[in-house]
Homo-oligomer: A and B are copies of this chain.
Amino acid sequence: MSPERPYELAHLGHIELFTPKPDESLHFFVNVLGLTESGREGDSVYLRGWDDYEFHTLKLTAAKQSGLGHLAFRANSPEALERRAKKLESMGRGIGWVDGDMGHGKAYRATDPDGHIFEIYYETRWYEAPPELKPALKNQAMRFPARGCNARRLDHLNLLVLDVAATREFLTDGLHMRNTERIMLDDGTEAGSWMTTTNKTYDIAFTLDHTGVAGRFHHVTYALDSREDILRAADVFLENGVFIETGPHKHAVQQTFFLYVWEPGGNRVELANAGARLMLAPDWKPIIWTQAERAKGQAWGLKTVESFHTHGTPPVA
């Protein structure tokens, strides 16, 4: 970030996930992951973590297939929203304005090169806890649920894309994000990139989809307070028969402590903890990981599971 070119987006706001098993998925997100329902409308249920300040961070929508409905970033101001809309339109990426839904006001929609739908909005609905969910401390959105994994707040999402470099450039130019880390294969292909619009070291990431199918979704991540919370979540997933794909372990890239599972609808969900790691330098230079470095696996030597490179939603026929 440079004040000469400040961030225009405040943070990842929410994502919409499609599920072909809406009842099972809802049970997973509420009773296992520990999210709380704040509303429902049509085929969608609105959900949030106990520290999410907005009405929702997850819109769960019944659909024929799993996958991402859309993702949304909140702009820093009404003016920033207007500027981004104009820029996205000028880049030929614009879809147009929508009225918003239960959780926020008007939003501008655009697509990344893969066709994933990005939504930018400013006007939002702050969550108001009903009496039985009022927190003991007034600087907290909702009381701690003490249920399931107690997912705290939305952290980031990860897309599968056909062209990582093009996606990175779209986010840099169109949305003023910054690249913090990336993977470069020996043949010059960019295999993955991590972007931020905050002091977190990433708010969105995207990795190469080897299937050749555009617009797929890799995972969404909720943050927990400690690595111990992640380990306990693994116990909770185990007890509930949730498929644990990989982890808990520590990523070499970004050093995040991770745990990946598949919710009943097929979408991959991550719980993560970053410790006290932040990106504070305004002139951070992206870390470039080579193919050889990536071949070493995760931080403590765990090999990346094969499905991590192939499983995305919707599934490929």
Q: Which of B2, B74, B248, B278 contacts A76 (CB 8 A)?
A: B2
The complex places the Cα of A1 from the Cα of B197 at a distance, in Å, of: 13
Contact B300 A77 (CB under 8 A): no
Contact A146 B276 (CB under 8 A): no
- A76-B3 contact, Cβ under 8 Å, with A226-B227, A244-B300, A250-B234: yes
Contact B238 A276 (CB under 8 A): no
Contact A53 B281 (CB under 8 A): yes
A255 at the interface (CB under 8 A from B): yes
Q: Which residues A226-282 have CB closer than 8 A to chain B?
A: 226-229, 231-232, 234-239, 241, 244-250, 252-255, 257, 273-278, 280-282
Q: Which of B136, B225, B277, B280 contacts A275 (CB 8 A)?
A: B225
- A300-B147 contact, Cβ under 8 Å, with A6-B3, A76-B1, A136-B238: no
The complex places the Cα of A10 from the Cα of B1 at a distance, in Å, of: 9
Most buried by B among A155, A241, A282: A282
Contacts of A241 in B (CB 8 A): 136
Q: Which of B234, B257, B293 contacts A300 (CB 8 A)?
A: B234
Most buried by B among A53, A155, A281, A301: A301
- A276-B273 contact, Cβ under 8 Å, with A137-B255, A137-B299, A144-B239: yes
Copies of this chain held together in the complex: 4
A80 at the interface (CB under 8 A from B): yes
Contacts of A291 in B (CB 8 A): none
A98 at the interface (CB under 8 A from B): no
Contacts of A149 in B (CB 8 A): 146
Contact B239 A146 (CB under 8 A): yes
Q: Which of B152, B228, B281 contacts A10 (CB 8 A)?
A: B281
Contact A226 B228 (CB under 8 A): yes
Q: Mark A293-304, 1 if CB is under 8 A from B, else 0.
A: 100000111100
Contacts of A293 in B (CB 8 A): 138
Contact B199 A239 (CB under 8 A): no
Contacts of A280 in B (CB 8 A): 10-11, 53, 198
The complex places the Cα of A238 from the Cα of B297 at a distance, in Å, of: 13
Q: Which residues A143-157 have CB closer than 8 A to chain B?
A: 143-144, 146-149, 152-153, 155
The complex places the Cα of A257 from the Cα of B10 at a distance, in Å, of: 26
- A254-B223 contact, Cβ under 8 Å, with A53-B281, A77-B282, A280-B10: no
Contact B200 A252 (CB under 8 A): no
Contacts of A227 in B (CB 8 A): 225-228, 231
Chain B min CB distance to A244 (Å)? 5
Contacts of A7 in B (CB 8 A): 3, 6
Inter-chain pairs besides A2-B77, A152-B275, A273-B276, 14 sampled, C-beta below 8 Å = A1-B76, A11-B199, A138-B287, A139-B181, A139-B254, A144-B236, A144-B239, A146-B148, A153-B276, A198-B199, A198-B278, A231-B257, A248-B248, A302-B302
